Amino acid sequence: MEKRDNMETKKYVISADIGKFDTKLVGRDVELSADDRKTVCFRTKMYDLDNGYIDVEGNSSLVNFDGKAYIVGEQGQDKSEDTSKTQFLHKLACYTAITKFLEPNTKNNEIYMVLACPLSVLLIQNAKEDYKQFIKGNGLINITVDNKEFEFEIKDITIKAEGAGIIYLEPNIFKDKTVGIIDLGGLNMGFSLYNNLTCKREDRFIEECGTDRLIDIVREQISIYKKGNLVNREIAEKALNEGGLKKSGKFDSESISYIETAKQKYFNEVLKHIKEHKFNIDELDQVVFTGGTTQHIKDNISKIPHSYIPSNSQLSTVEGNYKVAFKKYGK
């Protein structure tokens, strides 16, 4: 690979969805081909190494930023539970992910980004601008990831609603139709009603009913199965991912029905929130389910005859917004 001239300016077009559960970016150097597009995904968690040294393992990175050292990703301990995204963890996760597109020890790296924004922030103009500026930073950003130094500047950011990416991926679903998008994320669920590709301000809402709530219900059901004995969130999350509990290293088939009950209870809560906000999904042409939590409840969703789950629902926001990003910023 030919070594790059350090004075050469490189332009990168990136779509970012810094979720409560995981961080997802899609992008590429505009000089490269569409085949060179890269997807980066890791858990939105961090560990402050001031709390004691640990080795980096799994899908995690050692990050030095603003004079401090962190581990970002799977090994992290501080998961985001604040509905306001203007917090340090999201900035650190975003910057760490951006470096995965860059060459280390180079200058003049310019980032042009479409950034997914939660509905709670999107609906307040000042909050939207604050979030945009918070991620953008002021001028050059210097960060060291896995002992490699990176420098870049975020030149421009365009904000798009979380969950809206599917409109740009599959516009034909929405053309001349009334469609509800139910975006099931890590902490929140968002609902947006689109009439012929357009969503009015009053036709959106957000509730804290994402993966975290589903895991809580799984814990409750496991407690019932275990006659009142509680399990921690990690075991509940593992049981959710695997469809049941393990017993002495083997799959516990008797626990399956309790996980299935938890999924249905969670889905019922999702539908209840929609009704409470005075939306009737039976009156819609189609109901589109996006977000990572959707993957856990596919069977429940499929009972709604006019429901639709994109093939890669957890990436539909970031991939759809990438199409917007390249149309706007690509050459």
Q: Kindly provide the b/e burial profile for residues 77-114, where b requires at least 16 CB atoms within 10 angstroms of the residue's own CB.
A: eebbeeeebeeebbbbbbbbbbbbbbeeebebbbbbbb
154 and 16 fall within a common domain: yes
Task: Collect all residues with Cβ–Cβ distance below 8 Å to 266 and sequence separation of at least 6.
Answer: 209, 213, 214, 217, 297
Q: Is the pLDDT of residue 32 over 60?
A: yes
* Closest among 212, 168, 172 to 189, alpha carbons compared: 212
User: Taking the C-alpha atoms of 308, 192, 259 and 222 in order, what is their torsion angle to the nearest 10 degrees?
Assistant: 170
Helix (H, G, I), strand (E, B) or coil at 102: coil
Q: Is residue 2 scored above 60 in pLDDT?
A: no
When pLDDT is cut at 50, 70 and 90, the band that residue 251 belongs to is very high
Q: What is the pLDDT of residue 78?
A: 65
| Residue 156 covered by a domain | yes
Specify if 5 maps to a domain: no
Q: What 8-state DSSP symbol labels residue 138?
A: S
The better pLDDT of the pair 86, 204 is held by 204
Per-residue pLDDT at 104 exceeds 70: yes
Q: Specify the pLDDT at position 121.
A: 86
Residues 158 and 126 in one domain: yes
Q: Which residues form the domain of 157?
A: 10-163+318-329
**Cα-to-chain-centroid distance, residue 274:** 21
Report the CATH number at residue 277. 3.30.420.40
Burial of 159 (C-beta count, 10 Å sphere; 0-12/13-18/19+): middle
Q: Looking at the structure, do residues 125 and 100 belong to the same domain, yes or no?
A: yes
Asked if residue 20 belongs to a domain, the reply is yes
pLDDT one-digit tens code per residue, 234-243: 999 999 999 9
pLDDT of residue 6: 67
Residues 136 and 63 in one domain: yes
Shared domain check, 210 and 188: yes
Express each pLDDT in 37-82 by its tens digit: 999 999 999 999 999 999 999 999 999 999 999 999 999 986 666 6
Domain count, the chain: 2
If you average pLDDT over every residue of the chain, what do you get? 94
> What is the average pLDDT across 300-328?
96
- Same domain? 120 vs 250: no
| 140 and 214 both lie in a single domain | no
Q: Are residues 191 and 130 in the same domain?
A: no
pTM of the model: 0.91
- Pick the range with the lowest mean pLDDT from 77-81, 247-251, 262-266, 322-326: 77-81
